[in-house]
A and B are shown apart, each in its own frame.
Chain A
Amino acid sequence: MSDTTPVIPDQPEVCRTVDAEERGVWRRVMDRFADHCRARSLFVLHYCTGCGAIELPPTITSRFDMERVGVSPMVTPRQADILLITGYLSVKTLKRVILSYEQMQSPKYVLGFGSCTINGGMYWNSYATVKRLDQYIPADGFIAGCMPRPEAVQQVFLDLMKKIDAGQANAWQDYYLNYDRYLGNQMALFGEEWHTPVDVIAEAEHYGYVGDGTRGRFTEILDRHAAYALRDAPEDYPERGANERLLP
């Protein structure tokens, strides 16, 4: 193992920053109303990676009918609110999960389905699977069991709804606030070359979710790669926008 392999740092506490505007009455009422609606309309992107996916058809269809509580399936990450990871993730699929997750629009929620997403489950000693989902993307809830029954799936949705309604399902902010930690964990798995098309730091800056953990040693690696790529790109490279040319 080379000495450049990133080390997983200690996990800092998750905390929610309250901006000044949020204290206004009107703003609070609107937020409350929006949260109320958010909790009652959840579009789910089923990321059916593992065996647990087989429990979803009964949950959606006539036996249990999720639509009566406002949960309905959607097919692209852009449209979805919930990323439902049903079962074990191999290292290869985790890459795709992260790409999908970064394309979703906030507020977004991640639910881990089955023991495999919690601690590796029966694949705990496999070389190819990921043990803990929430080290790589922030998760809002888990369903234990191998595999969980549809009743359990419904329960986690109802719990998530309560959390959203109370304005507490804010794990997605953690991805912005502590991006460095998540990126570090991802790099530990995929190598230092790992990067995604979504500029998470720029998003965090734009929407005001920059925290102490947004930038760090691992995002520096990203910056270095970006600078390197920029230096090597030919001057008349068509993708090279005006912004990029301004960079040193």
Chain B
Amino acid sequence: MKKVLILGAGTAGTIMANRLLRKLDKKDWTITVVDQHPKHYYQPGFLFIPFEMYTEEDVTRNKTDFLPKNVEYIQEIIEIIEPEKNRVKLQNGKSIEYHILIIATGTNIVPGEVDGLLNSSWGENAFDFYTVEGSVALAKRLKGWKGGKLVVHIAEMPIKCPVAPLEFTFLADWYFSKKGIRDDVEIKYVTPLSGAFTKPRASGVLSHLLENKNVNLVPDFNIMHVDGSAKKLVSFDEKEVDYDILVSIPTNMGDSVIERSGMGDELNYIPTHKHTLQSKAHENIFVLGDATDLPSSKAGSVAHFEAEILTENILHFIRNKPLKEDFDGHANCFIESGFGKGFLIDFNYDVEPVEGKFPLPIIGPMALLKESRMNHFGKLAFKWIYWNVLLRGWPIPMITAQMTKLGKKL
């Protein structure tokens, strides 16, 4: 018997296990999945917890509920990957040998990378919303807050779901308006980018929206340290921003197992072929989801599109056929903009987000790069789709792995 070993049972690893089980010949192949954590979190839901729209229970399930019975699941910390020996060692001392390795260990926030952040009363005045603990603590803090300076701050790029900090800001504007204290809350959006977002056309639209919502955009801010006692952010060129509550998106890095194994770049992301998803260093190792160094967004939708293409490529690899260079960097993200509305953006490596209709040209029903109520419902429906369609490795009707240019105003 031969083995496919999947590291990580988050969004990407779970989808791959489901897809591969359907495609691989059960006479020859077994699939093993390793993850350290029993719970699967719907991470996009973390955004809504601070505003009391979702609770922790809403976004938490058991990982094993989404892994097929015929897949072996091991709950353990992965200690080290030894590509030269086709072997992975676990923390409990056991090793697993593989023929094909799929790495889907994702990315985490690392608050310790930002000077002063962890001793700036982290969990009291400074928070994150990229973890379940962070968003739950923030919900408690915001609930009784009477107003003051709220600062949403991105430490450095790249981060996973690069629109999430903007969505947080839009929702904060809505949340405090609803509570009747918006006039007592000053909101600042502090970013190392030159505008609100990474892609020019969307950045223009979103910067404008921040302005309409009376949010101060502070661009080109490169953080040197957080001064917790004075409650301010200080940049390398000595600009300062004061806060009462800091919502930080700290440096994002791939898991430390990648560093221990000597397989990553300076942020522990694994050099990966951008169209085939094969690792650059080892031909029987493939990488998908947030763990890659690809210039695509780190998002669940991207992991879903990658999984479709990677499944084909694993089959090609097994049959000694050339790999397909099919992955185009396709990402499809809803942007919650507050007051029951949202945006939708659809883009890839080459084509930035533009206006148009989605998924059907002209008909839609979703509008691209335009605010609408339908997009907000799309965002909320995504939770159901995530648990019931996406994680199970089924295609989402009418949405293809490769981006379509039809219906877009290019």
Pairing of A with B: no
Q: Using CB atoms and an 8 Å cutoff, list the residues of chain A in contact with chain B.
A: none
